[in-house]
């Protein structure tokens, strides 16, 4: 882990970027004062008119981009093996920065002993006592699946179309064939990594959107809204995002995570999820005298993995609402091997069936490898949010109405994964997930669209107004 900066949790050399595209879309070339970590490609503005009607709040897109670029350059990778919460010091660093920025806006913000940041924007309407608290949530960590250290964001202004070559690795290309949504984003501002790391738009795009929406509301006190709670969690990517959250302290009737792909989507269903930890035990002895005595746990583990379905119930063979078992981590040696397996399905009851399948295969492997033992332990991670959202229909309905005021139609979607909202809804706080411009999360091919982030911020501003108009 890298050390902390000395001022407000900033890393040395990280501040607002000095040469980003202007609000008017100037064609002047140049890169930021952080040129060594952020390349800005300025292309001529002439023909492209992406379909993002400029209705609603005129949020500050330059500031939104500057903050996003600042956030992604802080390494907040979640560490699954770490015993502490949060699992990485970068999450504490980013949290301190957010507290500093929120307080500069005049918002009461605190970071607790667990690194969770919570802030409150008071109601500004006379009937506030009749209004529920609305929470907005994003997570500070990034996935452990791809490095989040030394991210070098690349800003493409006025994207002209076509495949995007990432300069840090010539073999990494964001292809239109794999990302057909790029065709409708010509003329937009896109942000990628250099191909050697992930970008971190999951979920720093959501963090930046919430901070910008909060800034706009503070700058426009005439816009009516009820009480708003801002919540920034840690370790969402390893299933621990709400582990230290106090729902009574949040005190909200409904929450929205800003952690979704693209634009115009409301995730109203997620996977239900369990984690299986499989420990294969053998017997180690010097190979020179091993005949009839050694039991190689590695061979038994390999046999178990080979027995798991590959043409079904596997991520690479499923789509839509199909669930899967996903062995994603293995470690150990002759004496003992540990395998971690994700169990996923939209139907929570089917997780038990997947666990039973895993245990049956383990039993067969033990019979094939006399002297071996295989222990399978399963723990819950999160559950499909669909049932919980039905208990508070306004959560989704008001989000739909807010987006319609921007001249757009919300798509109700399901996500083959989970969010903090999955657990929050399960715990009794209805929490749908909103789009915020993310694409290709957890990958070196991750990218984000500034206009989609801007739309998300305007969506949030409309959303808090809808809730203020409908007391009770």
Burial (CB count <10 Å: 0-12, 13-18, 19+), residue 353: middle
CA dist., res. 162 & res. 186, Å (int): 9
Contact call for residues 78 and 127 (beta carbons, < 8 A):
no
- The span from the CA of 389 to the CA of 429, in Å, is 9
Residues 6+ apart with CB under 8 A from 332: 280, 297, 298, 301, 338
Q: Which of 32, 26, 28 is nearest to 69 (CA)?
A: 32
Q: How far apart are CA 448 and CA 433, in angstroms?
A: 17
How many whole angstroms from its chain centre is CA 115? 17
183 is catalytic: no
CB 74, CB 93: distance < 8 Å: yes
Residue with tokens 């999955």: 422
Nearest CA to 143 among 212, 51, 236, 57? 236
Q: How far apart are CA 141 and CA 77, in angstroms?
A: 6
Given 75, 141, 420, 452, the catalytic residue: 141
DSSP H or E segment with residue 454: helix 450-469
Residues 6 or more apart from 360 whose CB is under 8 A from it? none
Gap between the Cα atoms of 229 and 110, Å rounded: 12
User: What is the spatial distance between Cα 350 and Cα 346, in angstroms, rounded to a whole number?
Assistant: 8
Residue 141: active-site member: yes
Helix residue ranges, H only, 105-222 = 201-219
Choosing from 236, 259, 345, 426, which is the catalytic residue?
Answer: 236
Nearest to 41 by CA among 173, 191, 171: 191
Cβ 198 vs Cβ 143: under 8 Å: yes
Burial class (CB in 10 A: 0-12, 13-18, 19+), 29: exposed
Query: How many Cβ atoms from other residues are within 10 Å of residue 292's Cβ?
Result: 5
Instruction: Output the CA torsion sign for 387, 391, 392, 397.
Output: positive
Is residue 151 classed as helix, strand or coil in its secondary structure?
coil
What does the DSSP 8-state code read for residue 3? Answer: P
Indicate which residues carry an active-site annotation: 141, 236
């Amino acid at each position: 882990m890298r050390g902390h900066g000395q001022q407000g949790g900033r890393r040395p050399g990280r501040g607002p970027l000095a040469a980003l595209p202007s609000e008017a879309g100037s064609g002047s070339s140049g890169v930021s004062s952080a040129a060594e970590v952020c390349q800005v490609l300025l292309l001529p503005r002439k023909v492209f008119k992406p379909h993002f009607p400029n209705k609603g709040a005129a949020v500050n897109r330059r500031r939104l981009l500057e903050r996003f670029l600042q956030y992604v350059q802080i390494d907040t990778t979640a560490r699954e093996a770490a015993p502490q919460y949060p699992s990485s010091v970068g999450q504490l660093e980013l949290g301190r920065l957010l507290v500093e920025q929120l307080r500069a806006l005049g918002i009461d913000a605190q970071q607790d002993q667990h690194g969770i940041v919570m802030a409150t924007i008071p109601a500004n309407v006379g009937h506030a006592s009749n209004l529920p608290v609305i929470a907005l949530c994003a997570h500070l960590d990034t996935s452990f699946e791809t490095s989040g250290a030394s991210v070098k964001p690349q800003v493409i202004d006025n994207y002209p179309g076509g495949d995007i070559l990432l300069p840090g690795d010539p073999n990494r290309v964001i292809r239109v064939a794999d990302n057909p949504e790029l065709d409708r984003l010509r003329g937009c501002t896109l942000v990628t990594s250099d191909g050697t790391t992930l970008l971190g738009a999951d979920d720093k795009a959501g963090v930046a959107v919430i901070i910008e929406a909060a800034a706009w509301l503070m700058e426009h006190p005439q816009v009516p809204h009820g009480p708003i709670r801002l919540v920034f969690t840690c370790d969402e990517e390893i299933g621990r995002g709400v582990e230290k959250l106090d729902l009574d302290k949040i005190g909200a009737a409904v929450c929205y995570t800003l952690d979704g792909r693209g634009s115009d989507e409301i995730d109203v269903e997620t996977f239900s999820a369990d984690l299986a930890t499989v420990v294969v035990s053998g017997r180690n002895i010097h190979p020179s005298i091993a005949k009839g005595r050694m039991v190689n746990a590695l061979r038994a583990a390999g046999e178990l993995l080979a027995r798991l379905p590959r043409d079904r119930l596997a991520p690479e063979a499923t789509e839509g609402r199909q669930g899967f078992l996903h062995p994603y981590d293995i470690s150990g040696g002759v004496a003992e091997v540990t395998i971690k397996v994700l169990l996923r399905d939209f139907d929570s009851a089917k997780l038990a069936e997947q666990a039973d399948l895993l245990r049956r295969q383990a039993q067969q492997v033990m019979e094939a490898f006399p002297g071996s033992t295989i222990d399978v332990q399963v723990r819950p991670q999160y559950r499909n949010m669909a049932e919980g959202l039905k208990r508070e229909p306004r959560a989704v309905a008001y989000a739909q109405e807010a987006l319609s005021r921007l001249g757009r139609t919300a798509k109700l979607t399901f996500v083959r994964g989970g969010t903090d909202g999955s657990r929050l809804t399960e715990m009794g706080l209805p929490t749908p997930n909103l789009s915020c411009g993310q694409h290709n999360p957890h990958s070196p091919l991750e990218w984000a669209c500034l206009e989609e982030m801007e739309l998300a911020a305007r969506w949030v501003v409309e959303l808090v107004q809808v809730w203020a108009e409908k007391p009770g």
